[in-house]
Chain A
Amino acid sequence: MSFGEDTWEMCLFNVKDGFLEGVVRGYKQGLLSTADYNNLCQCETLEDIKLYLTGTDYGPFLANEPSPMHTTSLVDACTRKLVADWRYLRENAGEPLGRFLDYCTYGHMIDNVVLIVTGTLHERDVQELLEKCNPLGMFDAIASLAVAQNMRDLYRLVLVDTPLAPYFSDNLTSEDLDEMNIEVMRNTLYKAYLDDFAAFVHRVGGTTGEVMGELLSFEADRRALNITLNSIGTELTRDDRRKLYANFGLLYPHGQAELAVAEDFDQIRAAMEKCPPYQAIFSRLGLGETQMLDKILYEEEVRQLINTYEQQFHYGVFYAYMRLREQEIRNIMWIAECVAQDQKSRVQDGIVFTF
């Protein structure tokens, strides 16, 4: 039975999605290598970094950047490269790949909607707000959100005009929009999104379901860990905390129950170490080195993302490409910050090597 399904998948995948898979693998080849990073670390100024990046896939996007460079403009230029790639993929995608690609960007969309909602609350200029939005999370109707006069209108508009409508209608009321802490709102939406995404990849099934299931459960667990870690000592109660955990992942449900009651880092660690894959991660973390946790988690994610390229005929490569590119942009930002702030001794702390 399963053999049959796999065979069909192999036969039919290329009919619809083979071209884009080829394209995305080509894009992946353009990601910076370890040698590139080593060279970037040698740069003395932002201009050097720009010059070096001009020789990579980022070239066309950096060519017209005026000097002097700033870290933000550098990062913006790199983001434009990712956005351009992504648009191309999206425009050429059939179903259900197009839907999958949309799902990948919902995370950014949540950020954008939250940004617009808070901005509107503070009566900021719409145009200004739209400029600040992450281009990956844009959708056609986003500007219409800003015409809302009050919270009720806004809530209605969000429901009508955004793809995020189900996440809102299931989890938030119009009163919440006004009263709820913005971060709680963001994470509530994100949780709904992750659950929905996981259900979607499960429906797609096959290799995609398998690969993406793994990636998403890591993402869900990482969020659970971060939420726990960051909510220690804040007004967020245990129940609130539990509500923000996604309903899947390796930690679900027992690990999450333990995380929900954890009060300090050691308890979190104990809860996480019951799960073998995370035990390996935490064993790399010395005592009291919470600072490095982010980087180790990024590294683990990158490792998993790269593994997706080992298999063929699945959608995970698209998700992985976006994530890897984002990590790369983060790396570039880090290098640029270190160079700009004259902290080159710290430069190695932030780079997650991809290839």
Chain B
Amino acid sequence: MSSQNRYTVTPTVSVLAVMKGRLAGATKGHSLLKKKADALNMRFRQILRKIVETKEEMGKVMKASFFSLAQAKYSSGDFKHTVFDSVDQASVKVRASQDNVAGVKLPKFESVKEGGGAVDSKLGLIGLGSGGKQIQECRKSFMSAIDLLVELASLQTAFLTLDEAIKTTNRRVNALEHVVKPRLENTIAYIKGELDELEREEFFRLKKVQGNKKKHAEAAAAKEAEEAAAAAAQGSGTVANGSGAAGAQQQQQQGDILGVQDADIIF
């Protein structure tokens, strides 16, 4: 336990209580974040699988769409300039909404067709003279491709957002586990150590005081005894001698109890 890896605090009982509270908080937070990370990870895996699937499907759908474009071109010649010049206001748009996974907001896209996807008047008559049917087929085909692309876009955005969120969460989990918690534990241990140290000092001081008192008492007793002896010699010192001895005995007993109690811890 290195003494650097702890908070600089005054080792008091109240600070100890605060630190213990913080440790409990950190432990709780850690387990919660861990759960969140698991939830995110699960969603992440789902999305990954779906992205791979959808991308492959997209490849197929686009291929079919391009082929229908070739069919349309076959029937009605080159109509692309007409299409390019007919562009005005977008009738197919993307609506963004949010999906909530364990507190992470995932943007979600949805394609919206104005007028319920009805044929736009400007584009509806393309190829009127020839091949219009094929062009409409092609349009439908690309429409489904757009739907798929938008779905894919939303998956991909979710992927990137989740990726970021998971990284942050993992960073927090790791920070709690490897930095905050050990540091709190160290601090608590340090405070406990300091408190014990203080206690030992206190005990030693008491011991010392007791020793001093004893010495004084003995000295006093000796003096008294001397005096008593002197008095006995004089014939009147018995009572005083008895009371002095009793007091000394009492103190001796107290010291013993302390000594016995703490013997295993301190010495």
Contact = CB atoms under 8 A, between A and B. Distances in A.
A331 B246 CA distance: 130
Contacts of B122: 181-182
Contacts of A338: 70
B81 interface: yes
A223 B130 contact: yes
Interface in B124-142: 124-134, 136-137
A231 B125 CA distance: 7
B212 interface: no
* Chain B interface mostly: helix
Interface residues of B, number: 28
A51 interface: no
A147 to B, nearest CB: 19
Given A119-B85, A132-B81, A341-B63, A234 B124 contact: yes
B67 A341 contact: yes
B66 interface: yes
B141 to A, nearest CB: 13
B82 interface: yes
A23 to B, nearest CB: 26
Nearest to A349: B71
B131 A227 contact: no
A334 interface: yes
A169 interface: no
A118 interface: yes
A186 B129 contact: yes
Main secondary structure of the interface of A (DSSP, over half): helix
A226 interface: yes
A258 B74 CA distance: 28
B82 A118 contact: yes
A187 to B, nearest CB: 5
Contact of A122 (B74, B85, B125): B85
A350 interface: yes
A302 to B, nearest CB: 14
B125 A184 contact: yes
A235 interface: yes
A331 B63 CA distance: 20
Interface in B50-106: 63, 66-67, 70-71, 73-75, 81-82, 85-86
Contacts of A283: none
Contacts, number: 96
**Count class of interface residues, chain A:** 35 or more
B135 to A, nearest CB: 8
Contacts of B1: none
Contacts of A223: 129-130
A170 to B, nearest CB: 19
Nearest to A117: B85
B121 interface: yes
Contacts of B124: 234-235
B119 interface: yes
A181 B86 CA distance: 10
B129 A334 contact: no
B113 to A, nearest CB: 16
Interface string A327-341: 000100110011001
Contacts of B66: 341
Given A118-B85, A333-B74, A337-B70, A235 B133 contact: no
A330 B130 CA distance: 14
B67 A233 contact: no
B73 A182 contact: no
Given A118-B85, A182-B82, A229-B132, A234 B70 contact: no
A290 interface: yes
A294 B127 CA distance: 13
Contacts of A181: 121-122, 125
B80 to A, nearest CB: 9
Contacts of A122: 85
Given A115-B81, A341-B67, A226 B73 contact: no
A91 interface: no
Interface string A65-100: 000000000000000000000000000000000000
A230 interface: yes
A234 B136 CA distance: 11
A181 B128 CA distance: 11
Nearest to B131: A294
B67 A346 contact: yes
A136 to B, nearest CB: 12
A115 B119 CA distance: 22
Q: For the complex of A and B, list the 5 residue pairs with the smallest distance between their C-beta atoms, beginning with the closest.
A: A230-B132, A337-B70, A183-B125, A118-B85, A183-B128
Interface of A: 115, 118-119, 121-122, 124, 132, 181-184, 186-187, 190, 222-223, 226-227, 229-231, 233-236, 244, 290-291, 294, 330, 333-334, 337-338, 341-343, 346, 350
30 contacts: A118-B82, A118-B86, A119-B85, A124-B85, A181-B121, A181-B125, A182-B85, A183-B126, A184-B125, A186-B129, A223-B129, A223-B130, A226-B129, A227-B129, A229-B132, A230-B127, A230-B128, A230-B132, A230-B136, A235-B124, A290-B133, A291-B133, A294-B130, A333-B73, A334-B70, A337-B73, A341-B66, A341-B67, A341-B70, A342-B63
Given A230-B127, A291-B133, 19 more contacts: A181-B122, A182-B85, A183-B126, A183-B127, A226-B129, A226-B130, A229-B132, A230-B128, A231-B128, A234-B121, A235-B125, A291-B137, A333-B73, A334-B70, A334-B74, A337-B70, A337-B73, A341-B63, A341-B67
